[in-house]
Amino acid sequence: MLGEDFQIKGRYKEAVDQYVKGLKVLGYDDQARILQTRSAKGDYKGAIRAWLRVYVATSKSHHMYKYFAALLYANMGDKEEAFALLEEAYQKHDGSLIHLKDHPAFDPIRLDPRFKSLVRRVGCRIVHMNI
């Protein structure tokens, strides 16, 4: 997702713009409005956090990737939210966790012992390919 790439680079305004576009395409206009309303004040991280709270809270009524929400929280340094969602993803055997060890969004929490424990439990290994 392009918004995720912008967010990882610290370009939160562009990230919000991309999230809004994606949400509208998927028919989540209410969630897009949350981002638009909060970001209008220039608080792009706050806008993303407000959207994620709704995204996670509505996960019972639609399929929600806990891994995706966790990586966005982790990237903003929101450790507790990130770890809670990562643990849920692990319990549900989310296949996205295979990217856990190498995804740059997790850099802010990478040194936390909980992250290292999760990586071990998932069984992530770095595989180098000679091309």
Model confidence at 125, pLDDT cuts 50, 70, 90, reads low
Question: Position 116: which residue type?
Answer: K
Q: What is the mean pLDDT of residues 19-28?
A: 94
90 pLDDT exceeds 60? yes
**Nearest partner of 103 among 65, 53, 57, judged by Cα:** 65
Report the Cα–Cα distance between both ends of the chain, in Å, rounded.
26
Round to whole Å and give the CA distance between 108 and 119: 15
What pTM, to 2 d.p., does this model score?
Answer: 0.84
Query: Do the Cβ atoms of 19 and 51 come closer than 8 Å?
Result: yes
Round to whole Å and give the CA distance between 22 and 124: 30
> In which residue are the tokens 């995204």 written?
55
Round to whole Å and give the CA distance between 6 and 4: 5
